[in-house]
């Protein structure tokens, strides 16, 4: 069956025999968790056709939705490997099961991001209101160029140019080319590239020059990533995780060790912009909130019918820093996906209505990728290979978690207030839930077509996002 699904692949039988994948272990640096090193292809080169054939063979072996792969597809009809892969996943994408979750990327670039959060750019997340033609900064990262230039959460970018003399207003860019024109005007993620921006913040308008640079994203902000909030006399732990990467391990342990020392039993977990990342860090976050759940199921992981030997049940494994929260408030938006949703979903079977989604519906990605490497060509195929479920076998939340959690509260994302501020709308909504105050539930969605973060704003994306931009939605 595997050999006839792509009837026009060149030398398919020999290709399948030569390109079998191995196990899915590894380290975050080389390769990251979930990586599988592929065997050699039938020739030594890295031509487009050879790489396409390798991609096709891996899809036939590992793809979760084998029944949705096309019956016949000639790679020679596609000019790039990416175009061929896009055609292979078209049926699954039409059913909203693989919304470009399967993709080809650079081994070197991905390893750098997962190991240290390495990226190049201004170091900001951006969202936009296309109807109004406005562009906003939702978050700014420490040790990056934008924050050093005075650009932070709540800043509005009014115009973009390469010099002060050729500034184009954001409104005109939206009017002529939509969000793609705005993304193009901001330029590639290349260190050394300079842009001149007219911005406004706190009622003050000014023109700044910002040069993109290499920097590392801190997964837990030293400014607001972990803190203790007062909720009418009750202590509430607040932790904001930007992305699930390896450096999150010590930062999360430090945060929860402080919560444990202060007897925290109610926690706000802010994942509003967290697009996912490493399953190992998602599991750690679960463990840090599972002091009383040792041996209980955290999640079930299921591969396709050919790879059932890889199926796994993960159990809570409390750490020395773990706490046993009685109530959890997860802040989410349409940019909350993948590993973030895995963590939220894991607690519903145990805390039921004492674990709530605050904000808006999540993206809807109950599936995960493994990494298949063709090292000679610096190709890493991130292929959707498994689905995840919680202890109650709840998993298929392709339209978001709002219809799956037992409690939820609508709240806005107030970018005019700092993250972690008790007065910020979503944090306030979380505090209200934890205190037992009433709220309006989040309505389930019929499907997410964009990573919306409010009723009017959406995450600004590049047409071809790199690893950092996939895991940190809106990153520029």
Q: What is the pLDDT of residue 44?
A: 52
d(CA 19, CA 62): 12
Q: What is the pLDDT of residue 15?
A: 25
Same domain, 72 and 135: no
Same domain, 233 and 348: yes
Same domain, 168 and 253: no
Q: What is the pLDDT of residue 455?
A: 52
Same domain, 248 and 200: no
Same domain, 183 and 266: no
Same domain, 201 and 245: no
Q: What HEC string does the chain produce?
A: CCCCCCCCCCCHHHHHHHCCCCCCCCCCCCCCCCEEECCCCCCCCCCHHHHHHHHHHHHHHHCCCHHHCCCCCCHHHCCCHHHHHHHHCHHHHHCCCCCCCCEEEEHHHHHHHHHHCEEEECCEEEEEECCCCEEEEEEECCCCHHHHCCCCCCCEEEEEECCCCCCEEHHHHHHHHHHHHHHHHHCCCCCCCEEEEEEEECCEEEEEEEECEEEECCCCCCCCCEEEEEECCEEEEEEECCCECCCHHHHHHHHHHHHHHCCCCEEEEECCCCCCECHHHHHHHHHHCCCCCCCCEEEEEEECCCCHHHCEEEECCCCCCCCCCCEEEEEECCCCCCHHHHHHHHHHHHHHHHEEEEECCCCCCCEEEEEEEEHHHCEEEEEEEEEEECCCCCCCCCCCCCCCCCCEEECCCCCCCCCCCCCCHHHHHHHHHHHCCCCCCCCCCCCCCCCECCCCCEECCCCCCCHHHHHCCCEC
Same domain, 439 and 290: yes
458 falls within a domain: no
Task: Give the CATH number for residue 357.
Answer: 3.90.226.10
List of the chain residues with pLDDT < 50: 1-43, 446-452
User: In 391-462, where do the E strands start and end?
Assistant: 408-410, 458-459
Task: Give the predicted TM-score (pTM) of the model.
Answer: 0.88
476 falls within a domain: no
Same domain, 340 and 290: yes
372 falls within a domain: no
Torsion of CA 287, 290, 294, 300, to 10 degrees: -60
d(CA 138, CA 433): 24
How many other C-beta atoms lie within 10 A of the C-beta of residue 471? 27
* 156-161 and 194-201 strand pairing: antiparallel
Name the domain boundary from 216, 238, 260. 216
Name the domain boundary from 193, 216, 239. 216
Same domain, 169 and 53: no
1 falls within a domain: no
Tokens of 48: 């487009």
Name the domain boundary from 66, 91, 115. 115
Q: What is the pLDDT of residue 22?
A: 25
Structural domain span for residue 110: 12-115
**Count of the separate structural domains present in the chain:** 3
Q: What is the pLDDT of residue 453?
A: 53
Same domain, 179 and 234: no
User: Peptide bond before 31: cis, by omega within 30 degrees of 0?
Assistant: yes
pLDDT in tens, 247-285: 999 999 999 999 999 999 999 999 999 999 999 999 999
Same domain, 126 and 111: no
Task: Give the CATH number for residue 201.
Answer: 2.30.42.10
352 falls within a domain: yes
Q: Do 400 and 198 form a contact (C-beta atoms < 8 A)? A: no
* 266-270 and 234-240 strand pairing: parallel
265 falls within a domain: yes
466 falls within a domain: no
Q: How many CA atoms lie within 13 Å of 336's alpha carbon, on the beta-carbon side?
A: 30
Alpha-carbon dihedral sign for residues 353, 359, 364, 365: negative
455 falls within a domain: no
Same domain, 168 and 254: no
């Amino acid at each position: 069956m595997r050999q006839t699904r792509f009837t026009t692949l060149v030398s398919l039988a020999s290709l399948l025999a030569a390109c079998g994948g191995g196990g899915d272990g590894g380290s975050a640096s080389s390769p990251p968790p979930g990586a599988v090193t592929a065997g050699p292809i039938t020739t030594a080169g890295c031509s487009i056709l050879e790489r396409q054939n390798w991609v096709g063979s891996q899809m036939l072996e590992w793809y979760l939705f084998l029944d949705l792969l096309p019956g016949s597809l000639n790679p020679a009809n596609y000019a790039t490997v990416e175009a061929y892969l896009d055609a292979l996943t078209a049926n699954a994408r039409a059913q909203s099961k693989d919304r470009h979750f399967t993709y080809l990327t650079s081994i070197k670039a991905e390893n750098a991001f997962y190991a240290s959060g390495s990226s190049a750019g201004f170091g900001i997340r951006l969202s936009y209101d296309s109807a109004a033609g406005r562009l906003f900064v939702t978050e700014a990262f420490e040790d990056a160029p934008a924050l050093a230039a005075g650009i932070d959460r709540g800043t509005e970018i009014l115009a973009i140019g390469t010099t002060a003399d050729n500034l184009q207003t954001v409104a005109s860019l939206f009017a002529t080319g939509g969000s793609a024109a705005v993304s193009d005007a901001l330029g590639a993620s290349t260190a050394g590239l300079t842009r001149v921006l007219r911005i406004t913040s706190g009622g003050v308008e000014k023109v700044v020059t910002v040069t993109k640079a290499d920097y590392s994203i801190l997964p837990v902000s030293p400014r607001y990533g972990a803190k203790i909030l007062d909720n009418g006399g009750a202590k509430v732990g607040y932790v904001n995780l930007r992305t699930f990467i390896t450096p999150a391990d010590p930062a999360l342990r430090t945060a929860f060790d402080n919560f444990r020392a202060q007897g925290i039993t109610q926690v706000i977990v802010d994942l509003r912009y967290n697009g996912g990342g490493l399953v190992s860090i998602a599991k750690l976050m679960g463990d840090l909130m599972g002091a009383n759940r040792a041996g209980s199921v955290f999640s079930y992981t299921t591969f396709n019918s050919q790879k059932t030997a890889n199926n796994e049940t993960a159990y809570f494994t409390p750490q020395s820093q773990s706490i046993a929260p009685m109530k959890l408030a997860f802040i989410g938006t349409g940019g909350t996906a993948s590993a973030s949703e895995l963590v939220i979903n894991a607690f519903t079977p145990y805390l039921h209505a004492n674990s709530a989604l605050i904000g808006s519906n999540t993206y809807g990605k109950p599936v995960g990728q493994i990494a298949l490497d063709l090292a000679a060509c610096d190709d890493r195929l991130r292929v959707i290979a498994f689905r995840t479920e919680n202890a109650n076998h709840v998993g298929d939340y392709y339209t978001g978690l709002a219809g799956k959690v037992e409690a939820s509260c609508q709240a806005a994302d107030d970018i005019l207030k700092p993250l972690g501020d008790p007065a910020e709308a979503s944090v306030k909504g979380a505090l209200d839930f934890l205190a037992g105050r009433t709220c309006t539930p989040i309505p389930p969605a019929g499907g997410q077509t964009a990573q919306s973060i409010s009723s009017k704003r959406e995450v600004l994306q590049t047409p071809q996002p790199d690893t950092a931009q996939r895991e940190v939605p809106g990153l520029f």
